[in-house]
Amino acid sequence: MKRLNLFLRWMVRSDAVDPGGWSGIKPSQLLIPLDTHMHKISLLLGFTKRAQSDIKTVIEVTDALRKISPEDPIKYDFVLTRFGIRDELNHKDLIRVVSNL
């Protein structure tokens, strides 16, 4: 489901990362495209306690993000996953940044 949710994010959202084009679905209806990086970050940030990367976890993480941004709960997906993908950004940096908010 990660790829399907990622495709929907690309097609529904319109910004510097996502090209958009579809208007029949609202960004508020999207689910997080949960991969191993986003799952680990979601555990670190307390968005979920679930060890499995399944649909229940997707819904739990999306609901946690919806509390931050109800109109577009997955708008932080791209930036958060960079902490698990890019060598110059790591999870400790993310925790430090979030702790200072």
pLDDT number for residue 52:
96
Q: Considering the entire predicted model, what is its pTM? A: 0.87
pLDDT given at position 22: 95
Query: SS3 sequence, the chain?
Result: CHHHHHHHHHHHCECCCCECCCCCCCHHHCCCCCCHHHHHHHHHHCCCCCCCCCHHHHHHHHHHHHHHCCCCCCCCHHHHHHHHHCCCCCHHHHHHHHHCC
Q: What is the mean pLDDT of each run of 10 residues along the chain (101 residues)?
A: 94 95 96 93 94 96 96 92 80 78 65
**Residue 92: per-residue pLDDT:** 79
Instruction: Give me the pLDDT at residue 101, please.
Output: 65
